[in-house]
Amino acid sequence: MLTSNLWPNLGLLLTMIIITPLWIVSVKPAARDATAIVHVCNSEVDVRVDDHFVHIEERIFEPLVFALSPGTHDLSMSRSGELLYHEKFEIRSGEEQVLTAWCPSPANGFSAAAEACR
């Protein structure tokens, strides 16, 4: 037989049993980060992905890794304020995307941009 001072505790326990599953179902998981992996083919350049900025003094062979939120982003590479490369890219939640910041070749008709890349 239950005594009268146990009733409030029993009520609290029943409330928790009913509300906890409802709370767990209603909570949405946060958007997972996405990762942009950027290979840079030039030296003495500034690489930017949105507000993330990296200055490359000498050519590097390891890629740059940027943790991003899902959505549309801008990748650009410049030297002394001159834009050498720009690309918009879309990345989804949990996705890893590999990109390359590069200078166009004069053989492909990009002579002015290729001159700036030297």
- The first and second tokens of residue 58, run together, are 């000498």
CB atoms within 10 A of CB 73: 20
Q: How far is the C-alpha of 93 from the C-alpha of 107, rounded, in Å?
A: 37
Query: What pLDDT score does 15 carry?
Result: 57
Reported CATH class of domain 34-116: mainly beta
Task: Say which residues have a Cβ less than 8 Å from residue 15's Cβ, sequence separation at least 6.
Answer: none
CB-based contacts of 16, cutoff 8 Å, min separation 6: none
pLDDT tens for each residue of the chain, 118 residues long: 555 565 556 565 555 566 555 444 444 445 568 999 999 989 999 999 999 999 999 988 899 999 999 999 999 999 999 999 999 999 999 999 999 998 876 554 555 544 555 5
Amino acid letter, residue 70: P
Give residue limits of the domains in the chain.
Answer: 34-116
pLDDT of residue 87: 95
